A and B are shown apart, each in its own frame.
Chain A
Amino acid sequence: MSLAQRLSSINSQFLYLALIVVTTIFLFPQIKIPNKPDQAAIDLYVAVSQIPADKPLLIQSDWTNSSRGESSGQFEALMRILMRRGQKFVLYSVGDPQAPQVARNVIAIINKERVDAGQQPYLPLRDYVDVGFLPNAEGVGQAMKANIRRAFGDKTNRGADGQERTIWSTPWLAQSKSVKDFGMLINITASSTIDVLIERLGGEVPLGLLCTGVIGPQMIPFYNGKQLVGLSIGLKGVYDLEWMMEHGVRGAQTREVAGPDEVVSANHPDIKIPKLEGKNLDRGSKYYLSLHAALALMIICVILGNLTLIGARLKGRKA
C-alpha cells in the first residue's frame, strides 16, 4: 500500500481522536490573533452604539446550553456592551423554556465582574426587566406587533428591595407603548426564531441578530436586503465583537491616525466609537485559536481524502 493510499483510507476513529486532541491542546495558549471584523458585525456594533441612551432595547434571547460555544460568547459580549453604555433593555425568550435561565446566569456572571471592578451591578426593574419565557414564537411576534403590553402581559420582577412589581411600573418603560418605541430588537438565537421576527416584525423596529454559524449564511440575504441592520455570526462574530470593544470603530472618513488594530467601517464614513474600558476579550478570544486548529485539521483531511483520487487519475492517464 502506498503512502498516498494509506493516507486516504484513514479510519474515521483516528480523525475523531485527532480532533479531540487538537482542539484541547490549543485551548491553553493565550495568543491574541489579529482580526478584521466582518462588515455585518461592524454594522451591528455601530447600530447598537448609536441608539440613544433613553431608548430601551428588546433583547430576545433564544439560545440554550446546547449552543453555548457560540451563543453564550455573543450574549456575554452584548451584555457587556449594553451595560457599559448604561442602556436599558427588556429581556425575553420565545425559543425554549430554558433560555431565560441561561441568560440570567450570564447576567449574574457579568454583574459579579462589574462588582469586582467597582461598578454598579445591573439590577432588574432598575436597569432591565426580565419578562422570561413566552411560549409560541409566531404568536408572540403577532401579538407584539398588535400590542406589546398585552404580549408581555403582567409579568413581575423582584426589585432590589425584594418586592415583586410589574415590569410596566418601571419609569423608563412608561413611554414604550408599541414595538416602534424601542431602539432595536436584538435576537440571540441558534434556531429559526429570527425568521419569525423578520416575517412578523420586519419594518416595525430595527432588527439585529447574533446567531450561530449554522443560521448565519441563511441570514446574509436578509442583511443584504436591509431587513437586518447587522449580524454577528458564530465564533468569528464573537471575536469580532470583542475585537471592536477592545479597539473601537472609526469611519473611513475620520482621518485621525489610529492604531493598526482599529476597525474601519466602510458603511459609516464619519463615525468614531472609542474602545470600551474593562474586560473585553473573553470567550471568543479563548476559543479562536482552537478554531484555527480544527479548521486546519479539516482542510488537511479534505486534501488527504483527495490524494488517492488524484493519484488514481494520474495512473489512469499514464496507462
Chain B
Amino acid sequence: MAASNKYKLSSPAAFYPVAGRMIPWFGASAAVLAAIGLWIGLWLAPTDFAQGDAYRIIFIHVPAAWMSMFIYLVMAFWSALGLGFNTRLSAMMAQSLAPTGALMTLIALFTGSLWGRPTWGTYWAWDARMTSELILLFLYLGIIALRNAIDDPRRADRACAVLSLVGAINVPIIYFSVRWWNTLHQGSSVSLSAAPRMAAVMLAGMLILAFAAWFYTIAVALCRVRVIMLERESGSGWVSELFALNIVHLKKA
C-alpha cells in the first residue's frame, strides 16, 4: 500500500523532490517582482503633496498587511484539509506557513508605526487596522506556541488545525469589532486608510509587491516544509535512502 502512493503527490516522499524543483522558480520570480515593485515605489511614484515621501512606506506596509491576512486563511485551508482527510502533508504545509505569516504581520506592524510617526506624530495611535494586525499577531503566536507545546506531531497537527480554524472564523469578527470600537471612540480621522488618493502607479506598485511577497512566502514555505519532512520522517525509509545516497556521493567526491 505504501509503494503505490509513493508517487501520488500527497505523500511526503513524492512531494519532497517536486517542492525542491519549484523553490528556485518561486524564489526568482519573487526577487524580480520585488525589484520592479521597489523601483516603482521608491523611484517612479511621485512625491505626495501632503505626506511628502513618507507615504512610500505603504509599498511595504499594505502588501505585508494583505499577506498577513491571506496567509492565515491559506493556513486555515491547509489545516481543514489535513483535519478532514488526515493527510500529513497538508498539516505540514499549514505548519510551514505559520512563521512566515507571523513575520508578515510583524512587518505590517512596524512599518505601520514607522509610517504613523511622521503622519500622526506618534508610533502607535490605536488605529483600527493596526490594532487588528496586533491581535492577528497574537493569533499566529498562539498557533506557533501550541505547536511547540505538543511533542507528538500527529496531535500537534490536529490541535493546531482546530485552533487555526477557530481563529479563521474569529478573524473577521475581530476586524469588525475593532473597527466598530475605533469608529465609536476616535472617528475615522485617525486612520491609516486616509492614504493619499490611489494613483494608478501606486496601486500597481503595491500589487506587484504583494505578488512578490506571495511568491516569497510560497518559496519559503516549500523550503520549510521540506525541512519539516526531514525532521518528522526521519524514521521512514525514503529519508535515510535520500541521505544514504548523499553520504556515498560525498565519499566518492
Is B one of A's binding partners?
Answer: no
Q: Which residues of A pack against B, CB within 8 Å?
A: none
